[in-house]
Structure 1
Amino acid sequence: MAVLILTDLLEAPVLDRALEPALQRALDGKAKPQGALGRIEELALRLGLIQRRLKPAVQRPVLLVFAGDHGLTRSGVAAFPSSVTVAMVDALLAGEASANAFARVVGAEVQVIDAGVAADLSDRPTLVHAKIGLGTADASMQPAMTRQQAEAALLTGARVAEDALRSGADLLALGEMGIGNSASAALLMHRLAPAPLDDCIGQGAGHSPEGMARKRAVLAQAAARSDAATPLDVLTQFGGYEIAMMAGALLAAARAGVPVLVDGFIGTAAALLAVRLAPAARDYCLFAHASAEAGHRLMLAALDARPLLELDLRLGEGTGALLAVPLVQAACALLSEVADLSDVLEAAG
């Protein structure tokens, strides 16, 4: 097997649109008024283009949940301590988190990956062990990671995705778990959207007014510490291992021609990073929902993305991405299972 290197990962293929006229004719010819299924028809067309076939199918959705801790939590950007990350990883492994419940409903497999949890989790046999470090450094004081660690996280996320694809996954949903990761995502958005920092900062897992003031002050200190602007530099200065791995997984899926369901605020920050690294990857992204987290709609706008759902979610874990799986499958079924109008009319005599 060839060793994946970063330059390979950044070569997302431009979406081949050769099938677009045939797909549009197929959609227009179904037993329904043209355009009557609205955005489901747009989604069906996109899936057909990504899979390069007139009858796309999604039968093996897989949720990859990347977990990591952030040094920023030591400066008070989060309402909960990093120990909660470990507790939630264990809940995910036990099948007891919200993401597990939703995955069972939609028939998705769940894999949990230790990207950089600040604890020794080597005794969890069902965990995918991919730790880059015991959490990132405090980005308000120093770079969150080294350039080597940033590149390693991107490549490791890609390898995790490639393993899932080799096992038969035909749709990847990306999720995360990590106390403090909304702070890291806000800094990434600030530089990569770009957008004013205050517009990027939200409640995360919840804050008092005093907690929000502290979060804003710490993130302002972090932003003032470095003028990083290029994607890899921004990741190195402000990112998280789990965010980098989600970006790497998205890029690997794009290289393989597999659609990716992007979750909420943190997931979209990972998508923003991936698209800034490899612009062609944007066409392989399906944006699941508009989060209630402040800044998410602005970040979606920076990606020219229109989400499938609006449910006021702000949990993470890939929960919103999972809720969009049935819409993706319905869009496939429109092309593969619905009769042509001409056949219906012929049968009617």
Structure 2
Amino acid sequence: MKKLLLIDADCGVDDAQAIMMALASPRVEVLGITCCYGNTLLENTCRNALRVLRICNKLQIPVFAGASAPILGGPLLGASFHGKDGLGDAPDPSAPGQELLQKEHAVNAILRIVNERPGQVSLVAIGPLTNLALAVKMDPTLPKKLRSLFIMGGNTESRGNITICGEFNFVTDPEAAYIVLNDYTCPTYIAAWEFTCSSLLPWDFYHEWVNQDTEKAKFMKKITAHSLQVSESHKETPGKREWASGFVSCDSYAMAAAIDENFITEASVIGVSVELNGSLTRGMMVMDWTDKLKKEHKAIVIKKCDLGKFQELMMAALK
């Protein structure tokens, strides 16, 4: 039996990498992609998801437009690391158009798809968690019908990549992250920022990866060129040298765990939440090491992984 995955993404470059990993795996079936704002505007993330599906010859997979802003509104800053359009500012004039998007809203699609296959679907959330938060508020029984939830987001050591103490996906919509970590009671796996940075791949692997003689690899090399330049500039920046010293595809770690839980070699089983009010810590994931929150539902926060298996999945994504 193949694993059934529903992917919620703000399709930037690393989202594209993660989605292509899933599409290439014989172990899973992707039921759909629900889009939200994040790395760029919703209009762009939807278009980007369609571009990824086209290069993989998978345009039959439905794409749904979802939340266009955080629950409480606020500025949409985006992540310049992936370019203004989310895919490295490498436009394709022949990219699939918005007419290929499904008419159904992403939140409604999440509820419908999970209800059609109770206990079988795993959600893979690799963007801000707004769609997931809205879905559980519309149907509080949703988590009981999920097989599992895989999240790329949050942090474990208060290291920020967008604010002093906050990771991008959680800081972009802290209320949504809080709702998801507290209301989703299905098995929940988290690939946090520090874990991805400590599991980076050598740049030699990156160059081998994007220089495979395939259309997928050519596409990936094109859309990652901008990010590569940014990473090069960060090698001399205090606080950013560590993660710029290798290739990090953040969202792909959560996807690898969703494809095969044996990818995870060490994890902490712990209660987690999100800080909403701190002047310096808003959006930071809270690790309840002393169990003061008394949470019955504990998350599986990934600490280490099988990098050999990860490289195999990454290489297969572009073949």
The question of a shared fold, defined as TM-score above 0.5 by the shorter chain, is answered with: no
The structure with the greater share of residues assigned to helix is 1
CA radius of gyration, larger in: 1
